[in-house]
Amino acid sequence: MLEFVNVSKSFWTGKQRKVILDRASFRVDIGNSLGILAPNGTGKTTLINMMAGLEKPDEGEIHRMCRISFPLGFMGGLVNRHTGRENVRYIARLYSLDPDYIEAFCRWLCDIDEYFDMPVGTYSAGMRARLAFSLLLSLEFDMYLIDEGMPQTTDPIFNRKAGDLLRSRLESTTVIIVSHQAETLQKFAKSAAVLMNGQLHMFDTLEEAKQLYDYETQG
């Protein structure tokens, strides 16, 4: 279970206060995958980062009662001066998992040959994305956080291999996915919400959420 209790978050831009959440309270239960609709620039990434613990709220409490993933596509956990192998073994130990298994899985999935044993700082953007994505798939979480659909690398073979794995994983787990369009949420969301005016408005179905979202964004 993931719970926000009276959480506020805003940014001061130098001219105005940009409010993302204003004393918002909601909870997401395991088994009830949630799709969150929000227009661009309203705080989707900030919200997902707060869920993951990457960003702190200004006020309020966030309770994480299960294993919550880092956001899909997040690469901040990789250390440039360490090799891919060192990075994934280190993270395996952080999660109390078998480093040999995690290394073998990531080596197989990201398929970057000798670069796996070279510092991550030498990788292309696509290689980094493949390593981060492989790492996420090698770890087991109770809830997966996804910002705007599946991240795509430019490698079609990797996309197919990793996409199939991700889809089968997500079908049997709990997903929180944020997007500015309902179609992206359709496949996974059991319930839905709209992020608006600092609040997360919860609905039982995506259709209901979409009605409010369309009304607010299209008039």
Ligand X SMILES: Nc1ncnc2c1ncn2[C@@H]1O[C@H](COP(=O)(O)OP(=O)(O)OP(=O)(O)O)[C@@H](O)[C@H]1O
Instruction: Choose which of 46, 69, 87, 153 interacts with ligand X (CB under 6 A).
Output: 46
C-beta separation of 112 from 123 below 8 A: yes
* Unique residue bearing structure tokens 């197919």: 160
Identify residues 151-190 at the interface with ligand X (CB under 6 A). 180
Assess 18 for contact with ligand X (CB under 6 A): yes
Cβ of residue 180: shortest distance to ligand X, in angstroms? 6
Q: Where are the beta strands (DSSP E) in the chain?
A: 2-12, 17-28, 34-37, 59-64, 143-147, 174-179, 191-196, 199-203
Looking only at the bridges linking them, the beta strands covering 191-196 and 2-12 are unpaired
User: Looking at 41-49, 103-111, 118-126, 132-140, which segment touches ligand X (CB under 6 A)?
Assistant: 41-49
Instruction: Choose which of 8, 25, 45, 152 interacts with ligand X (CB under 6 A).
Output: 45
Q: Which amino acid is at 82?
A: H
Of 66, 49, 55, nearest in space to 3 by CA: 66
Q: Which is nearer to ligand X, 55 or 155 (CB)?
A: 55
Instruction: Choose which of 15, 16, 41, 56 interacts with ligand X (CB under 6 A).
Output: 41
Q: Which is nearer to ligand X, 60 or 119 (CB)?
A: 60
User: Looking at 1-9, 13-21, 27-35, 161-169, which segment touches ligand X (CB under 6 A)?
Assistant: 13-21
Assess 43 for contact with ligand X (CB under 6 A): yes
Cβ of residue 39: shortest distance to ligand X, in angstroms? 7
Of 73, 191, 205, nearest in space to 136 by CA: 73
Cβ of residue 194: shortest distance to ligand X, in angstroms? 13
3-state class (DSSP) for residue 214: helix
